[in-house]
């Protein structure tokens, strides 16, 4: 039996802030040998998981977070994060003063006292555009980051208001298998992946893997891989001047017309227009 050490707090890098909000990057190196501890959200927290996987437990339930997922935290509520199935994660996080968020959430949901009733949102097509912009905003001006803050909070509140209740208990062995596959996809997203290969990594039949992955992640493996590629491409297009075709091929797309079609469907515009709007949200 291995002894667990006390998990240390993540490293925090301040990116930008203003009246009622701040944007930070959290990098955690905790792993299976680190014991989770109770923490508290001082403000409303809405965080994009940029890399890694971890368990998140709060008053609203439990969630298994993965790249592209959105962590939701209510001001004054306690929570725990655990890394039973892998080491480390990186999150880009907005914190909102409660009254600032309340105004945004009321407009998004029609509820004057809205509070998140779900612990997280899975990666989704509807949030892909904002997620990609957020990853590209790490060096943006304060005006752009606050505009992003408002849109991100509005979209998260609106989506969370219509989200189903947190899923029931998930078998630990299924979570471990899916976590292994998520981390594999994260480091091999530019490669040609198929169900046989992913199911082999999980060590189960293709049917069992597909069912477990979709239930835990909220997307099929194909949709999850597609969104990861698009989010990475969108962030690179917005943040650099590299040729768009080069970015598309590096992200894992082998046909530019297919990339353009998927990009427009996810981001609402073509890659060239997306680049011209860099710094805007």
So what's the architecture of 172-276 in CATH?
Answer: Orthogonal Bundle (1.10)
Phi and psi for 148 in degrees, rounded to 5?
Answer: -65, -40
Mean of the pLDDT values across residues 108-129?
89
221 and 195 in contact (C-beta within 8 Å)? yes
25 and 13 in contact (C-beta within 8 Å)? yes
- pLDDT score, position 1: 43
CA 115 from chain centre, in angstroms, equals 20
The domain limits of the chain are 5-161, 172-276
List helix spans (H) across 31-117. 98-109
The mean predicted confidence, pLDDT, of the chain is 88
Distance CA(228)–CA(264), nearest Å, equals 15
Give the three-state DSSP class for 248: helix
**What is 195-246 written as a DSSP string?**
HHHHHHHHTS-HHHHHHHHHHHHSS-HHHHHHHHHHHHHHHHHHH--S-HHH
Is there a common fold for 5-161 and 172-276? no
Topology of domain 5-161 in CATH is Jelly Rolls (2.60.120)
First to last CA, the chain: 50
**Residue in 270, 268, 266 with CA at minimum distance from that of residue 128:** 266
Q: What is the pLDDT of residues 136-166, one digit of tens each?
A: 765 556 667 787 888 889 999 999 998 665 5
Confidence of residue 273 (pLDDT cuts 50, 70, 90): very high
Q: What is the pLDDT of residues 184-212, one digit of tens each?
A: 999 999 999 999 999 999 999 988 899 89
Residue at token pair 């240390």 = 8
β-pairing verdict for 70-73 and 120-121: antiparallel
Distance CA(166)–CA(216), nearest Å, equals 11
Mean of the pLDDT values across residues 57-78?
94
Task: Report angle CA 241, 243, 246 to the nearest 5 degrees.
Answer: 130
**Residue in 217, 236, 245, 246 with CA at minimum distance from that of residue 274:** 236
266 and 129 in contact (C-beta within 8 Å)? yes
């Amino acid at each position: 039996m291995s002894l667990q050490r006390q998990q240390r707090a993540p490293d925090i890098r301040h990116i930008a802030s203003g009246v009622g909000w701040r944007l930070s990057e959290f990098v955690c190196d905790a792993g299976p040998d680190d014991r989770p501890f109770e923490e508290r959200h001082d403000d409303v927290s809405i965080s994009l998981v940029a890399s890694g996987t971890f368990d998140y437990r709060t008053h609203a339930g439990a969630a298994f977070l993965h790249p592209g997922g959105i962590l939701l935290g209510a001001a004054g509520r306690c929570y725990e994060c655990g890394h039973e199935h892998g080491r480390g994660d990186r999150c880009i996080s907005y914190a909102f003063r409660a009254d600032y968020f309340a105004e945004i959430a009321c407009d998004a949901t029609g509820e004057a006292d809205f509070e998140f009733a779900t612990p997280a949102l899975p990666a989704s097509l509807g949030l892909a555009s904002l997620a990609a912009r957020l990853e590209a905003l790490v060096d943006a001006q304060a005006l752009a980051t606050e505009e992003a803050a408002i849109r991100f909070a509005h979209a998260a509140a609106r989506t969370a208001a219509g989200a189903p209740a947190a899923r029931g208990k998930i078998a630990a062995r299924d979570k471990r298998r899916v976590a292994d596959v998520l981390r594999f996809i994260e480091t091999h997203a530019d490669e040609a992946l198929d169900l046989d290969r992913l199911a082999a990594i999980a060590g189960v039949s293709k049917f069992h893997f597909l069912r477990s992955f979709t239930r835990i992640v909220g997307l099929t493996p194909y949709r999850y891989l597609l969104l990861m590629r698009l989010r990475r491409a969108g962030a690179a297009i917005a943040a650099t001047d590299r040729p768009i075709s080069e970015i598309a091929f590096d992200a894992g797309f082998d046909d530019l017309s297919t990339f353009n079609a998927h990009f427009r469907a996810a981001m609402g515009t073509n890659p060239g227009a997306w680049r011209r709007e860099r710094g805007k949200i």
